[in-house]
């Protein structure tokens, strides 16, 4: 929705030299429809906002916004989807409103319920609220960390912003520098408070922060999904019906918008379910205007990796035909990649991993077509076991619960459909070389049921499974991250602890526990970080129905059999969507996910870019890595026609490109 910023100084008034003008301007891409800064607390506090107009397009919806005769001010990024219901409740309690925005509903909710207002919100948010009565700042992030918020506190200055790059525009006296020790981890940090900038911290998902004058930031985790699990029906048919009702309502409230909306469609189960649900909602509700739902929702944007096994165009076309959507295809081939696009996507991402060039381009196209809201399918895989590596957890459950050994066959059936080893998407991350990978696939496909029922001793079976797990053909992200952290780095231990020491949920089997961990502290936080930055770099807001907290708590209250079962991943979603989407998509077993054809790109269109980077003097002189060794490996790999070996060193190239972008930004 927007970009937010702020600075509370304890030792001098903010003015001409020390201010948040640059900090706020550094977020203009997040809110291209307007920029505002206000000074409060005798010029000791400044709040900034860059606006992406979605709800209440009038000046009444501008931020920072005040309430109760200026006693409270807020700068807010996100959406509160149930704001209409909350507004009605607040009006009945005596509150009056000047706007039709969800922002004012947050202010009134805080006045009425205090910090507990967070539990009332169904949405995504990062906000900072100034309470002049208590002389304090109240910052909050949504339950699952959809919207970002970073802060710096040095004892005299508290500064916050929506993105790291904005901090680079601060006055040199308080401007943070890149942290070489953090960069050297080459790790995803989304589940920690660490960032790439010294002294700048990430306010974690489901956390709030309170800062009183001359005090220290007080952090509090206000939400834990495990504390809100519910009792679900024992009958699967009833579970399915309730899941469908929740999913459709999650889509419906996310269609509330005063501007047209679209969707990023891959042709996979999750994004296809979203647009098919939108079509059903429109067909069954008719009059969308009075519920503040967008009447124009039919534009579907499809990224087509032409000439690659990553292309899902034909699947997306089936869905487009089914719902009569307006197709917008963005082709990205293997012939040419613009270096400027690559650099800009890396800078937008603010992370050291594969560049999100494909999604960056698709949201660029959305914006060019006048679409600034996209309903996407993020979160379904981590709730409902959509990835191949979740089969590993299900195998372990089937083994340890010996009485359920018959479920091996069902899990094997699921695994069979996910990938053909001869047709793995390029760049698929694996811990085993292709020869061993094929052996593993053959084991699952041909021998598993036979091995289980040919009466081997339990000891022999345990040894076979233990070997597979120890070799980690497909490692869960949190374990893989912890194991790759460099020894001797002072931050490694704390990060490893964050990833490996997760709360154990009572009554969970291994699969549900893995899903819970991956959703809250593994794969999903990284995906949310990536897609927020890539979409908002073009001023496009992503809304994810699968992240509706009602749906999340319901999904994590369900048994594993509703997720991996009957020969499918995401069993309950597939069954819930029966009759609402193309049957070929609903029963599709293959999966590509978010991977891009990086190895193919490195082999041809990115070759000159890669070689230019590793030969640059700045790259060679960087103290974080041995530039000469990396250059020699890369050059040798190209000579031997081994782009996959160049890919192994991509992290250094991305880190170098990102660091230069940060230094050159301001």
Numbered residues of the known binding site for L-glutamine: 102
CA distance 571 to 411: 12
Contacts of 52 (CB under 8 A, 6+ apart): 1, 2, 30, 31, 32, 33, 372, 539, 541
Nearest residue to 346 via CA among 635, 651, 647: 651
Contacts of 275 (CB under 8 A, 6+ apart): 263, 265, 300, 319, 323, 325, 375
CA distance 79 to 98: 18
Q: Are 263 and 552 in contact (CB under 8 A)?
A: no
Ramachandran bin of 69, using left for φ above 0, alpha for ψ from -120 to 50, beta for the remaining angles: left
Q: Are 80 and 122 in contact (CB under 8 A)?
A: yes
Q: Which of 2, 117, 251, 276 is catalytic?
A: 2
* 582 phi/psi in degrees, rounded to 5: -60, 135
Residue positions forming the annotated binding site = 102
Q: In what order do the strands lie in the sheet with 65-67?
A: 65-67, 72-80, 123-131, 136-141, 207-212, 218-221
Q: Where are the alpha helices (DSSP H) in 556-649?
A: 571-576, 583-586, 598-603, 607-615, 617-621, 627-639, 643-648
Q: At what angle do helices 650-665 and 339-349 cross, to 10 degrees?
A: 80
Q: Are 164 and 182 in contact (CB under 8 A)?
A: no
CA distance 295 to 256: 9
CA distance 245 to 272: 17
Residue 218 has a CB neighbour count (10 Å cut-off) of 11
Long-range CB contacts (within 8 A, 24+) of 553-556: 553/225, 553/228, 553/229, 553/230, 554/230, 554/232, 554/242, 554/243, 554/246, 555/243, 555/383, 555/384, 556/225, 556/226, 556/229, 556/383, 556/512, 556/515, 556/516, 556/519
Long-range CB contacts (within 8 A, 24+) of 283-286: 285/252
* 48 phi/psi in degrees, rounded to 5: -125, 160
Which stretches of 195-309 are assigned E, i.e. beta strand? 200-202, 207-212, 218-221, 262-264, 299-304
* 615 phi/psi in degrees, rounded to 5: -95, -10
CA–centroid distance for 514 within its chain? 18
CA distance 513 to 507: 9
Nearest residue to 137 via CA among 2, 24, 61, 45: 45
Q: What is the DSSP letter of 75?
A: E
CA–centroid distance for 342 within its chain? 20
Catalytic residue list contains 2: yes
Residues annotated as catalytic are 2
């Amino acid at each position: 929705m927007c970009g937010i910023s702020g600075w509370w100084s304890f030792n001098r008034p903010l003015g001409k030299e020390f201010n948040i003008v640059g900090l706020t301007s550094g977020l203009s891409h997040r809110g291209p429809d307007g920029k505002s800064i206000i000074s409060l607390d005798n010029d000791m506090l400044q709040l900034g906002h860059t606006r992406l107009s979605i709800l209440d397009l009038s000046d009444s919806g501008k931020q920072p916004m005040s309430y109760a005769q200026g006693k409270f001010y807020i700068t807010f990024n996100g959406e509160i989807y149930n704001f209409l219901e909350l507004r009605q409740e607040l009006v009945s309690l005596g509150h009056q409103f000047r706007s039709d925005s969800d922002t004012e509903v947050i202010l009134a909710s805080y006045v009425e319920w205090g910090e507990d207002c967070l539990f009332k919100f169904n949405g995504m948010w990062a906000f900072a609220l100034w309470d002049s009565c208590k002389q304090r700042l109240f910052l909050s992030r949504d339950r699952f960390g959809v919207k970002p918020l970073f802060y710096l506190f040095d004892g005299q200055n508290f500064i916050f912003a929506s993105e790291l790059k904005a901090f680079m525009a601060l006055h040199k006296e308080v401007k943070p520098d890149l942290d070489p020790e953090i960069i050297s981890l080459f790790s995803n940090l989304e589940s920690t408070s660490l960032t790439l900038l010294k002294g700048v911290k990430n306010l974690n998902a489901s956390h709030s922060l309170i800062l009183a004058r001359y005090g220290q930031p007080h952090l509090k985790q206000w939400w834990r999904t495990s504390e809100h699990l519910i009792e679900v029906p024992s009958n699967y048919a009833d579970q399915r019906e309730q899941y469908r009702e929740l999913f459709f309502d999650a889509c419906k409230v996310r269609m509330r918008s005063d501007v047209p909306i679209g969707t990023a469609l891959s042709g996979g189960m999750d994004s296809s379910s979203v647009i098919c649900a939108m079509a059903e909602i429109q067909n069954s509700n008719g009059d969308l205007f009075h519920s503040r739902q967008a009447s124009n929702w039919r534009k579907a944007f499809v990224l087509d990796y032409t000439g690659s096994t990553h292309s899902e165009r034909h699947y997306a076309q089936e869905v487009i035909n089914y719902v009569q959507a307006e197709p917008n295809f963005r082709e990205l081939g293997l012939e040419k990649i613009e270096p400027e696009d690559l650099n800009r996507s890396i800078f937008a991402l603010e992370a050291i991993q594969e560049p999100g060039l494909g999604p960056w381009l698709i949201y660029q196209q959305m914006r060019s077509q006048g679409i600034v809201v996209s309903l996407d399918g993020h979160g379904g895989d981590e709730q409902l076991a959509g990835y191949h590596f979740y089969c590993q957890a299900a195998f372990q459950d089937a083994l340890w619960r010996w009485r359920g050994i018959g479920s091996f066959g069902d899990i094997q059936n699921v695994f069979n459909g996910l990938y053909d080893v001869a047709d793995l998407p390029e760049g698929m991350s694996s811990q085993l070389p292709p020869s061993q990978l094929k052996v593993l696939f053959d084991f699952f496909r041909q021998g598993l049921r036979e091995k289980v029922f040919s009466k081997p001793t339990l000891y022999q079976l345990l040894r076979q499974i233990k070997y597979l797990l120890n070799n980690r053909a497909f490692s869960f992200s949190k374990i893989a991250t912890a194991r790759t952290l460099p020894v001797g780095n002072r931050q490694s231990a704390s990060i490893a602890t964050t990833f490996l020491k997760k709360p154990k949920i009572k009554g969970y089997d291994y699969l549900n526990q893995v899903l819970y961990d991956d959703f809250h502290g593994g794969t999903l936080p990284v995906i949310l970080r990536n897609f927020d930055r890539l979409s908002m770099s073009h001023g496009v807001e992503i809304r994810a129905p699968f992240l509706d907290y009602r749906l999340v708590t319901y999904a994590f209250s369900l048994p594993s059999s509703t997720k991996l079962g009957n020969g499918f991943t995401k069993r309950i979603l597939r069954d819930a969507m029966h009759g609402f989407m193309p049957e070929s998509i609903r029963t599709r077993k293959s999966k590509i996910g978010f991977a891009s054809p990086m190895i193919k790109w490195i082999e041809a269109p990115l070759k000159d870019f890669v070689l230019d980077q590793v030969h640059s003097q700045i790259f060679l002189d960087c103290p974080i890595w041995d530039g000469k060794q990396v250059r020699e490996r890369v050059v040798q790999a190209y000579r031997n026609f081994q782009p996959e070996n160049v890919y192994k060193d991509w992290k250094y190239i991305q880190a170098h490109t990102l660091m230069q972008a940060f230094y050159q930004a301001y």
